Chain A
């Protein structure tokens, strides 16, 4: 009979119940969309920020000491990392968070007229088949995606040609009168050769005076086979917190539990630490500007989303409050009658709450489904990709809908508890 009373109310007050369900659906949809985006936004923002380049640099330990002592930019002289260890970067605990990386070697060379030129050897679209079975095209093509190719194209490492190729900066090209398709003769300390210019780039910095070529070609010119000066790594990271800051200063200061938490979280300091473990005599350090920007943007984006969620839920609670109160007022004579013939407050409250919660479940389900749709619209509009709906969104939204529905029902329940049967039965 309890079921029949509920069903009767739901059918008799269907317009009001639809309005309540709609209000809940609205709140639930926004909560679902925002939570889905918040939980996925870290990766999305990180991926967006990856277009601004690497966020970790790895240099030889001795160079790092010199840099720290003299606040020098660039790599030290006479200390090198080993090229054959590069593949190990994709074997660390957070290997899947390493989205791109490239080695660099800087070589002094000269043009035919004797003028000096800085040559940088690196990867461009270097193909790697990793022990994990993963395949990766790593290199500058994506790490320097903001470079503008004024003439020609990027160096293609996978093109089958025996010809040595190079890219030159726009200022050097203008000064020397070179363009894509020309050949340039370069002399290094240990070798020389003709290089086909495949592209002219504009980086907007001192690189516009440099020449970029494949790593092994630069090593040949300098006679430094298997040596590299530095590695730039682009990794998906979690914004730093107090633990990460403490660990970055000295991992030894952490307790065992803190260490495990830190090591198993994709903090930039944790990834740096793990890179140092696999690259001999190296120091990996975050490019603070990029890492900090990532963290700040991510935190602000998340805060904004959470605020929108809270405000939408408050709005839903207020809407529910009005509608449920109106519903109880409309049925006050029935509620008064039930109380007069002995219904306890708990039973009447239970009846009303069951009706509201059933309505909330329906509204919540529709809201959740709509929220998934909203999140995909946000994903495609803002990040140009789909938002992954995390399973944890379901219980979170369920709890939020329950809290909002109960909170919105409080004034109506208070009214119901104070309702005097003698008054409502006499139409007061």
Chain B
């Protein structure tokens, strides 16, 4: 899968000295291929989450196109785009996200449940493998409110991977994790890239660079490719 941002911009209305329009992302064109773990780093407010959301199909750009191979993401109607996200994109949002009325296993299976699908034995086994891989197998029947930050994050990763999407977006996946959990999470994402998936990690944690194939810096709404030696 090739994900291409074609001259996309995102502007928000915000009171500024000279203009009421604030460009969160300046006009940018970039192309990302499967099998890579892409790191996008930058300071808070640099526009990296906005960038990721536009590529992830949950925030329409102000201009430009987002292409998945030849499929133009925002040319689809809302329902088709939702289904596309469900089938092709794994989204690991910032913070601790869960449906609190469901246990850990049910949360992981949510992408299937949303389309009223019966959970097949194969899917159930995959969910169990995911739980095992994330190290939270013993928490399968536990409710999200009883999990720690790291466990919640691993649950969110398992939920993003359960449908085996070609593209995975992770927004600050190591934000509130200790060193051990950080390495566990990044190793999982690295393995996905090695399996041919496109993994894009948005972070301000430069430790991620160690796991990344390509690193971009987002600054003032501009995306720049950085050489490894430039990352301090």
Contact = CB atoms under 8 A, between A and B. Distances in A.
A12 B102 CA distance: 11
Interface string B101-142: 110001001110111100100000000000000000000000
Contacts of A422: 49-50, 53, 58-59
A426 B56 CA distance: 14
A66 B197 CA distance: 105
Which of A1, A343, A345, A347 has the most C-beta atoms of chain B within 10 angstroms of its own C-beta?
A: A1
B94 A340 contact: no
A240 B83 CA distance: 60
Which of A339, A422, A425 has the most C-beta atoms of chain B within 10 angstroms of its own C-beta?
A: A422
B100 A420 contact: no
B195 interface: no
A421 interface: yes
B219 interface: no
Contacts of B50: 422
A9 B109 CA distance: 18
Interface residues of B, number: 36
B82 interface: yes
A70 interface: no
A420 B49 CA distance: 14
Nearest to A11: B101
Interface string A329-369: 00001100111111111110000000000000000000000
Interface string B90-103: 01011101111110
B46 interface: no
B28 interface: no
B101 A4 contact: yes
Given A421-B58, A427-B95, A8 B78 contact: no
Contacts of A340: 56, 58, 85, 91, 93
A345 B82 contact: yes
Nearest to B59: A422
B101 A344 contact: no
Contact of A2 (B91, B97, B113): B113
Interface string B129-172: 00000000000000000000000000000011000000000000
B184 to A, nearest CB: 22
Nearest to B96: A333
B79 interface: yes
B109 A1 contact: yes
B106 A345 contact: no
Interface string B68-88: 000000000011001111110
Nearest to B93: A425
A127 interface: no
A9 B101 contact: yes
A5 B99 CA distance: 8
A150 interface: no
Contacts of A342: 82-87, 89, 111, 114-115
A427 B44 CA distance: 14
A337 B99 contact: yes
Contact of B94 (A1, A7, A12, A426): A426
B140 to A, nearest CB: 15
B208 to A, nearest CB: 20
B202 to A, nearest CB: 12
B163 to A, nearest CB: 9
Nearest to A341: B111
Which of B79, B82, B83, B89 has the most C-beta atoms of chain A within 10 angstroms of its own C-beta?
A: B82
Contacts of B58: 339-340, 420-422, 425
A333 B111 CA distance: 16
A334 B83 contact: no
Contact of A5 (B94, B102, B111): B102
Contacts of A334: 99-100
Given A2-B116, A426-B94, A344 B78 contact: yes
A338 B110 contact: yes
A8 B100 contact: yes
A344 B94 contact: no
A425 B102 contact: no
B87 A1 contact: no
Contact of B101 (A7, A333, A341, A421): A7
A149 to B, nearest CB: 74
B191 to A, nearest CB: 21
A356 to B, nearest CB: 16
Interface of A: 1-2, 4-5, 7-9, 11-12, 333-334, 337-347, 420-422, 425-427
Interface of B: 49-50, 53, 56, 58-59, 78-79, 82-87, 89, 91, 93-95, 97-102, 106, 109-111, 113-116, 119, 159-160
30 contacts: A1-B110, A2-B113, A2-B116, A4-B101, A4-B102, A5-B99, A8-B102, A12-B100, A334-B99, A337-B93, A337-B98, A338-B110, A340-B93, A341-B85, A341-B111, A342-B82, A342-B83, A342-B84, A342-B111, A342-B114, A344-B82, A344-B114, A345-B79, A345-B82, A347-B115, A420-B59, A425-B58, A425-B93, A425-B95, A427-B95
Closest 7 CB pairs of A and B: A8-B101, A342-B86, A422-B59, A1-B113, A422-B53, A425-B93, A342-B85
Given A337-B98, A425-B95, 10 more contacts: A8-B102, A334-B100, A337-B97, A338-B114, A341-B85, A341-B111, A343-B86, A345-B78, A347-B114, A426-B49
